[in-house]
Amino acid sequence: MKRREFLQLCGGLFIAMQLPGRSYARLLEPILGENSLKEIKKLTINVGATTPFKVLHISDTHLTRVDARDNERKHTVAAKRSKAFPDAEKYFDAAIRYARENDLLLMHTGDLEDFVSEANIDFIREQLGVGDWYAAAGNHEYSQYVGEAKEDAAYKMQSYAKVQSAFPNDLTVASRVINGVNFVAIDDGYYNVTAEQHEAVKREMEKGLPVVLMCHVPLYTPQHCQTILKGNGGVAGYMTGAPLSITETYQQDPSRPASEQWRNRTVQQRAEQSTLDFIAWLKEQPQLKAILCGHCHDFFEERFSPTAMQYTVEAGYKGGAYEIEFV
């Protein structure tokens, strides 16, 4: 423990004698770490930066805010979903505080909100308006009521403008160069990458800079996919671009009517040809140095290509983060 931290702790303990127990606990939370991130994994990734720099990578916060502007159905969803993510805001605040105290750029790889609400959008706009942020979109970014309809391009457009207005960069494809490294963020929240996104990433590669790709859903890697399938009993792999021979094994309910077949994981996660083409092409790009993603809610690291590892960060609502130094 550093001397300053020791003195803070001693001062807090002295004040504790004058306060009720609950008030004291709240007072000492920042000192004792009750409101700190649960696990920060520290990495060094060699990408050829002109000057080394650090970022804090978080994902899957799943904010569930609602207020008087949101309808009754939104409130019902919030009451249910907030039980799954009781510490979401605590750990989100902790990540913001940690990034500011350590002068880190915050990178978020999707599902910052659990569903679209007026309260969530305003809170995101407020938080991302302060400090240095860069983000990729997740599948929940455009979810109206969570699992209530087929999520596709048409569904996304119902809330795209509202959601985009709260974020600092384009959520479909974005590029930000930091110390000679091109961070390219794409939206693969629905398990696919469009031909238009592919062309945009190609243009970024043509700049000749080392590239770090940011996306929400991990791109298919065999070990990670098998680990997920083993963990959930073969329900689904939850990865973008899994081979059709694998997605066809995901659990299905053929008894569902045709209008409900979209609920089957095989249908939801089946890769389109544009996605398979993108991944095959991406594996051959020597400028690709790393992939940062989330979605699966646990840490996992696996090689994606000869030049790039893929880093899946633990969910933010669980208190996970990567502190990454790019050199």
pLDDT for residue 199 is more than 70: yes
pLDDT for residue 26 is more than 70: no
Q: What is the pLDDT of residues 252-293, one digit of tens each?
A: 888 889 888 888 999 999 999 999 999 999 999 999 999 999
d(C-alpha 199, C-alpha 204), whole Å: 9
Look up tokens 């799943």; give the residue.
62
Q: What is the pLDDT of residues 209-261, one digit of tens each?
A: 999 999 999 999 999 999 999 999 999 999 999 999 999 999 888 888 988 88
Q: What are the distances in angstroms from CA 324 to CA 22, 43, 53, 56, 271? A: 36, 5, 8, 6, 30
pLDDT at 17: 42
The mean pLDDT of 167-196, rounded to a whole number, is: 97
205-224 burial, b at 16+ Cβ within 10 Å, e below that, comes to: beeebbbbbbbbbbbbbeeb
Q: What is the pLDDT of residues 93-122, one digit of tens each?
A: 999 999 999 999 999 999 999 999 999 999
pLDDT for residue 195 is more than 80: yes
Indicate the residue type of 283: K
d(C-alpha 39, C-alpha 313), whole Å: 10
Do 88 and 71 touch, CB atoms closer than 8 A? no
Task: Name 301's Cβ contacts closer than 8 Å, sequence gap at least 6.
Answer: 309, 310, 311, 312
Q: Where are the domains of the chain?
A: 1-34, 36-326
Do 110 and 122 touch, CB atoms closer than 8 A? no
Long-range contacts of 306-314 (CB under 8 A, 24+ apart): 308/213, 309/45, 310/218, 310/219, 310/221, 310/224, 311/43, 311/57, 312/218, 312/224, 313/41, 313/57, 313/58, 313/59, 313/109, 314/39
Look up tokens 């969803």; give the residue.
77
d(C-alpha 218, C-alpha 253), whole Å: 25
Do 80 and 148 touch, CB atoms closer than 8 A? no
Predicted TM-score of the model (pTM): 0.89
Indicate the residue type of 203: R
Give me the CATH topology for the region 36-326.
Answer: Purple Acid Phosphatase; chain A, domain 2 (3.60.21)
d(C-alpha 48, C-alpha 318), whole Å: 32
Q: How many CB atoms lie within 10 A of CB 48?
A: 13
